[in-house]
Structure 1
Amino acid sequence: MNERSSTRLPTVLALTVAVLAVSSSAPLIVFAAAPALAIAFWRNAIAAAVLTPITYGPRRSEITGASRRAKVFGVLAGVALAAHFATWMPSVQLGSVATASALVATQPVWQGLIAAAQGRRLPLAGWIGIGLAVAGAAWATGADFGVSTQAVFADVLALLGGVFAAVYTALGEQARTELRTTTYTWICYSVCAAILLVVCLVAGLDLGGYDNRTWLAILGLVVGAQLLGHSMFNYALEHTSATMVAVLGLIEVPGAAFLAWVWLDQQPRLAALPGIALLLAGVAVFLLGATRASRLAVDPALPD
């Protein structure tokens, strides 16, 4: 058995666990009987607390030895992460799990537009993917105009959540030139938790007094989407392409919709489903086109 075949099964298992973990995020947010911003605070605060012994233990020298530039980008990434959670998580409670999960999945599209603004040339397939994704988002959001103003507001928040996730990733690319995953993640989660704590206190949101099922849901978010899901994606990145991981990550959208349906009895809005499908197809086309362009840049002899 060669090395590639021996690592195939662990990689498939890691991706399966990651998709299941992140798919549970939106349904757990709806299930928890607590304000979305408070859930976001606890989700990041607990995760940061779990990572603190590692960061100030084996990785302490990385914190003290990192340049000011890396630390600043890490902090800015944490600010963007707070904005992501502060927009996307309320959108899940205000609207539909299926639509919110799909709209936040536009992150790679916004990532591509950020790259274009930085002077990087996007391939034709990338622009086609962006067009399809935007059309799908407009369709899905337009379908909610007939539901309620709150549903449309939730869609706008979810789209902003995708934008801030792209900004978070772009800033993270700069910080990760020096910082390893654990240290960078700890900085982001800590900054994010601190900002969300201030927001919750200013808004007068309850940070405690929840029932047992809410605390279990919050712990599920920490262990599942926050720690296990992203950790398994990071493991898979060592054995397969980033694009493959990103495309498979889109399975989170139907996965979250299915869990919300069977667990919370939240049926997807039929009028929005074609838009969601078009949106996901656009993101997939964008990702595959970007990968093709990267391969051609490395080896121009590859056939078009």
Structure 2
Amino acid sequence: MGTPPEPAMLRRSLRSTRRLPRRAAIGRRTFTSTTRALEQLADAGAQVSVYVTDLDNDTEVLTGDDHVTMPIAGLGVVPLLIEVAAGFEAGTLDPLEIVERSSTEAVTTSGMWRHLWAPALPLGDLAVLAASTGDPIAVNILLQRVGHHRVLRRIESLGLRRTAVLDRFRDVRGPDDAPHVAVGTTRELAGLFSALVNSKVVDAAVSSQVSEWLSLNHDLTLVAASTGLDPFAHDHDPHGLLFINKTGRDRGVRAEAGVLAGPRAGVAYAMIVCFDDLSIAHRLRAHDAFRLLGLELMEYAH
């Protein structure tokens, strides 16, 4: 067995010709497969960002352009859920308040609620739909109900300087609309998930509620694909794996942040890839990078 290579910082700028060096925790895996996949994506013109930190000692495990603000699509629902949970806790929002689906403009390109018979649901159920399926109508109604300005104030109070919810979900995003639903950095998003599981977001009750909602997320196709978890029942894993996550998807955008904890270690992570979605092959290469990160995170935690 040789001596592990000296860790280095993984950095990559959009369309830069320089290579991405690596940084991994001493004594752990070096995340070489993830780094290689991100190098290849960046060499092909994609913009990539990644940040992984150890939950036990706040050690940076893997970093790369983690300060760069990038589109995060539906991952922006997390600050909204925090504001909703805070409203429930403070009594300014009633989780049993019934809201009509027709109270907001329809979104027909995705979502679960548009397929349901129920024309109205309580706010508490909309939070579950938003967290578990990223339902755009549920998200839009919650954003409309709590107010965009309050979500922005909550983001500011959480110390997130490069993260913002810009707009609601839309079928068509016109020239007068914000270019993205939300933007953020991997460093801030990973830090937010770390704070959630450590009960440091608003207070313990709000952190617990948001973490519980996020534990219901059905999208385990990116980083979480390597966990082997049941996408419909993974909040009580018999092997002691703790996992919560949220993904964001848009044309040419894939983003995920979460927490993965196993017997040996726990990590908070975030990764964003913005790429030219010219073919299925382009898309699958981006997905492969997320799955490699998931595999190496599992090896780190176990």
TM-score range, shorter chain: under 0.3
Higher strand share: 2
Instruction: Return the TM-score normalized by structure 2.
Output: 0.26
Higher relative contact order (CA 8 A, sep 6+): 1
